[in-house]
Structure 1
Amino acid sequence: MNQKRTRIPLPHPKPVDNRSGAWLLLVVGTVLLLLSGLLAWTLAGALVDGQIVTGNRAGPRHVYSLALQPTQFYGELLWQGLTTLLLGALAAAALWIGRSLMVADRPRR
């Protein structure tokens, strides 16, 4: 049934308020972006110092030196770098979705 041809306007649901979810996504995205920046700063410090500490939570932490254990050093650097990139991608996605929700809620002229 066409809306323009009816005498009685059809009922439409009220628009959903997405602002609280959008603000939450923006805050989460900002926090994740700050955390990925701190992880990148830590990785840069590990490259400058030539030592990297593993991020074990269950067992003892290991320290790999570039001079003594280059394979383990670069492996751990690669692993932590990929984790940092993944966290940064999640932050960018959260910020993008939050921003698109904020734009969708604006009244159109």
Structure 2
Amino acid sequence: MPILWSGPSRPIDFPIRSVKDHKIIAVATDDPEFNAYHESHELPQHRLLMVRCFFREYKQLEGKPVEVDEIESAASAYRTIQTALQDYRKKCRGGLRTL
């Protein structure tokens, strides 16, 4: 799982049916409660537990099996976003299409 400063922070991976369902935790850089944190490991353990529980429970409420992996670094979140952007550009080459 990876926290972003009004951008991506730490990505969280959810393996669903052998496909990773990446989640990016974003933190507003001007939020005084969180602006001193730059990596997920700096957050209080209780806050990380709350994040993990949230993602686990919302998938379970959808009736989907879920496995929450570890929270990863901010660098990992940026890589995940870059990969998603590259994949999107490849898919939309020649113009945007409706989904």
- The alignment's TM-score, normalised by the length of structure 1, stands at 0.29
* Larger relative contact order, structure 1 or 2 (CA cutoff 8 Å, min sep 6): 1
* Structure with the higher strand share, 1 or 2: 2
* Structure with the higher helix share, 1 or 2: 1
The structure whose Rg is larger is 1
- The alignment's TM-score, normalised by the length of structure 2, stands at 0.31
